[in-house]
Amino acid sequence: MPLSRTLGSITVTALTDSEGAFFQPRTEAFPHATAAHWREADRRDPTSVTADGQWWLPFRSFAIRAGDGPVTLIDAGIGPADAPAASWAPVPGRLPAELAAAGIDPADVDTVVLTHLHSDHIGWAVTGNPGRPYFPNASYLLQRAELDAAEKINPGLPAGLVAPLRAAGQLRVVDGETALTPAVRLLATPGHTPGHQSVLLTSADQRMLLTGDLLVHAVQLVDPDLSYAHEEDPDEARRSRTTLLKALSPTLLATPHLGTPFTPA
């Protein structure tokens, strides 16, 4: 059964699509991390490193549901065997089975928030040939800055993702901070990609930040100033990460790639 946390009436369920070793040594992915950084990161997140020192990471989506209402899905995983992430990620993913184990039918999902357009976050958004939205009743939310940069991020995105969503009338473009409900708010956190967004949940005195790739490894909790090699704009990504973590501390993080899905910060 997928792991979940509750904030008031809201249940947040972590859905692990797959997991595997990263394609690059972690010392190259985080070139400024020191041996001390790695020791502390491995202490905090011991399952993220293999016996031979590789970065082992899960690929997660998160489902948000208030009571028995409709579901908001944060990100769409790595996808089936023919998904865009197949060139580097451990496809096929198991998100359909994870949803079923959590009692969620794809038709129950009324909103899909795509934190950004990297291939390991969009895999189940559109499937088949010709491509169709996997979640038939959902609006897919994307920051305008991310949509504008889609072709630069991946030349296949306009035809493979954006066009099918538009044709189905399921693409919703947002600009900056946007309230979805009184408890669910989109936050613009650019840098990893031009239109990266995170999701903040609040309920009474509780809050949870669904980070997307605002941070991708515990080493960036040890030192949020550390850049990741695959950030489009490292300086902007650093500002987004350090500013938000400082502003929200303490909070609970829900992360796609750390060893455990829910991490206090």
Percent of the chain with pLDDT over 70: 100
Are 51 and 42 in contact by the 8 Å Cβ rule? The answer is no
Q: Can you give the pLDDT at residue 205?
A: 87
Does 154 score more than 90 pLDDT? yes
Each residue's pLDDT tens digit, 49-94:
999 999 999 999 999 999 999 999 999 999 999 999 999 999 999 9
Neighbouring CB atoms inside 10 A of 130's CB total: 8
Mean pLDDT value of segment 180-192: 97
pLDDT at 181: 95
Helix (H) or strand (E) holding 201: strand 197-203
Instruction: Tell me how far CA of residue 34 lies from CA of 23, 133, 193, 238, in angstroms.
Output: 20, 43, 25, 17
Section 203-208 average pLDDT: 92
Please, which pLDDT band fits residue 165 given cuts at 50, 70 and 90? very high
pLDDT digits (tens, 9 = 90+) for 91-145: 999 999 999 999 999 999 999 999 999 999 999 999 999 999 999 999 999 999 9
The values of phi and psi at residue 145, to 5°, are -65, -30
| Alpha-carbon gap, residue 133 to 162, rounded angstroms | 10
DSSP 154-182: -TTHIIIIIHHHHHTT-EEEE-SSEEEET
pLDDT in tens, 27-47: 999 999 999 999 999 999 999
CATH architecture for segment(s) 4-264: 4-Layer Sandwich (3.60)
Strand 206-210: give its sheet, edge to edge: 178-181, 184-188, 197-203, 206-210, 252-254, 262-264
Q: In a 10 Å sphere around its CB, with 0-12 CB exposed, 13-18 middle and 19+ buried, how is residue 66 labelled?
A: middle
Cα distance between residue 118 and residue 192, in whole Å: 10
Measured CA to CA, the distance from residue 132 to residue 205 in angstroms comes to 40
What mean pLDDT comes out for the span 243-247? 97
What pLDDT score was predicted for residue 171? 98
Secondary structure element (H or E) that encloses residue 132, with its range:
strand 132-133
Cα 233 to Cα 131: distance, rounded to the nearest angstrom: 31
Percent of the chain's residues with pLDDT above 90: 98
Residue 88's CB: how many other CB atoms inside 10 A? 14
Q: Is the pLDDT of residue 1 over 80?
A: no
User: What confidence score (pLDDT) does residue 243 get?
Assistant: 97
**CA 83 to CA 92: how far, in whole Å?**
8
Six-digit token pair at 234?
A: 């490292």
Q: What is the mean pLDDT of the chain?
A: 97
What is the reported pTM? Answer: 0.97
Structure tokens given for 32: 């400024």
**Contact predicate 81/41, CB 8 Å:** no
**One-letter amino acid identity for 148?**
D
Q: Inform me whether the pLDDT recorded for 204 exceeds 90.
A: no
